[in-house]
Structure 1
Amino acid sequence: MLQTTVEMEKAAMILKLLGDKTRLTMVKILDKHDCCVCEFVEIFKVSQPSISQHLRKLRDVGLVEEERKGQWIFYSINKDNDYYPFVQQILDQLPSQDQKLKELEERGTRIICC
Structure 2
Amino acid sequence: MQKSLMDLTNASMILKLLGDKTRLTMVKILESHDCCVCEFVEIFKTSQPAISQHLRKLKDLGIVKEARRGQWIIYSLNKESEYYPMVKEILQHLPNQDFKLQALEEQGLRISCE
Residue 29 of structure 2 is aligned to residue 26 of structure 1: no
- Structure 2: which amino acid aligns with 1:107? Q
Question: Which consecutive unaligned segments of at least 5 residues does structure 1 have?
Answer: none
Q: Report the counterpart of residue 76 of structure 1 in structure 2.
A: 76
Q: Report the counterpart of residue 108 of structure 2 in structure 1.
A: 108
Alignment RMSD: 1.2
Residue 18 of structure 2 is aligned to residue 3 of structure 1: no
- Structure 1: which amino acid aligns with 2:104? L
User: 1:49 deviation in Å?
Assistant: 0.1
Question: Which consecutive unaligned segments of at least 5 residues does structure 2 have?
Answer: none
User: 1:111 deviation in Å?
Assistant: 1.0
1:82-107 alpha-carbon deviations (Å, 9 max, x no partner) = 00001100000000000000000011
Equivalent residue pairs, number: 114
User: 1:4 deviation in Å?
Assistant: 2.9
Give the Cα separation in 2 of the matches to 1:5 and 1:32: 26
Instruction: Give the TM-score normalised by structure 1.
Output: 0.97
Identity %: 67
Give the secondary structure class of the aligned counterpart of 2:96: coil
Instruction: Give the TM-score normalised by structure 2.
Output: 0.97
